[in-house]
Amino acid sequence: MLQQTPVVRVLPIWREWLDRWPTPADLAAASPAEVVRAWGRLGYPRRALRLHAAATEIAENHGNRVPEDHAELLDLPGIGSYTAAAVAVFAFGQHYTVVDTNIRRVHARLFSGKALPSKSLTAAETRLADQLMPEGREDSVKWNQSVMELGALVCTARAPKCDDCPVFDQCAWIAAGRPEPDYVPKGQSWHGTDRQVRGAMMAVLRHSPAPIPVDLLLTDRAGAEQLAARMERPEQETTDMLEKLWSLPAPPEQRERAFQGLVRDGLASRQGDEASLPG
DNA sequence: TATTCGTGGCA
DNA sequence: TTGCCAAGAAT
């Protein structure tokens, strides 16, 4: 849940999930549709499916206990290098190097003298993180957590609070005179993209208690008016979501592509002329 | 290595 | 208001 998502937004959903599905087997017993609905608006709904798939593997192949072994964690769906290390360290107290976006930024500034870490995780960054981490097992837990917190609360991406920084005097970026980033991070586009259309379609599918005619999902506002004449009107809340979807400035081929993407990712299923969340 | 994939708060 | 960006993973 925390992958690319702020902690404060995750907390309430996380509590709901643990309350509803206390063990991996409980989550595995739920349907993908239930899981995606419970995911709500956390974003990147594929993560919900992968978490469900991971729970299924854990229930079936790991005795319903989250594996402590780093390699076994890494084998689970949706678990990559960061999450495997984070679970091994923070849940089981093991000695692994955690490299998340906060830690990368702290290292870039404090030790490399750069404003931002490189675009994608490099071998050099991993090497640096490994070298910096203390050898002791308990110290490694404190270290990973501390550097992460420093990045999240003080050494932030925008407007870092250098006045409050405990290692201000040792910072290579400060010493270098706070140089600008050596590249321009290109922001994630949104308006007019497939993700925007996918998001609007997912909102419809999450809200609809019944399967939705695919035509309603793929049309624009003009087409919707024509369809309304020969189609039963969905309930109000679903209609509100459909209105948002129809109002997007997306050509028919983009809507089709977005829907097919959802089907391919297992987030939507199509039966005949109707679409719904996957059973 | 570079892209793709949601959502919402905040500057 | 617009753009940035957040405990990344898969391909």
DSSP state of A91: I
Q: Establish if A263 belongs to a structural domain.
A: yes
Of the three residues A65, A91, A117, the one that is the final residue of a domain is A91
| Distance separating alpha carbons of residues A207 and A201, to the nearest angstrom | 10
Domain that holds residue A234: 194-276
**Total of domains in chain A:** 3
| Distance separating alpha carbons of residues A48 and A39, to the nearest angstrom | 6
Edge to edge, what strands does the sheet with A269-271 contain?
A212-213, A274-276, A269-271
pLDDT digits (tens, 9 = 90+) for A198-243: 999 999 999 999 999 999 999 999 898 888 777 777 888 899 999 9
Is the pLDDT reported for residue A35 higher than 80? yes
Q: Establish if A189 belongs to a structural domain.
A: no
Query: What nucleotides of chain B have any atom within 7 angstroms of a protein Cβ?
Result: 1-8, 11
Q: Establish if A2 belongs to a structural domain.
A: no
Q: What is the largest CA-CA distance in chain A?
A: 71
Residue A19's CATH number: 1.10.340.30
For B8, nearest residue by CA–C1' is A9
pLDDT digits (tens, 9 = 90+) for A75-117: 999 999 999 999 999 999 999 999 999 999 999 999 999 999 9
Q: Within 10 A of A19 (CB to CB), how many other CB atoms are there?
A: 8
Asked whether the beta carbons of A96 and A140 are under 8 A apart, the reply is yes
Q: Establish if A260 belongs to a structural domain.
A: yes
| Cβ of residue A115 lies below 7 Å from strand B | no
pLDDT digits (tens, 9 = 90+) for A137-187: 789 999 999 999 999 999 999 999 999 999 999 999 999 999 999 888 888
Q: What is the pLDDT of residue A236?
A: 85
How long is the CA A77 to C1' C11 vector, in angstroms?
Answer: 14
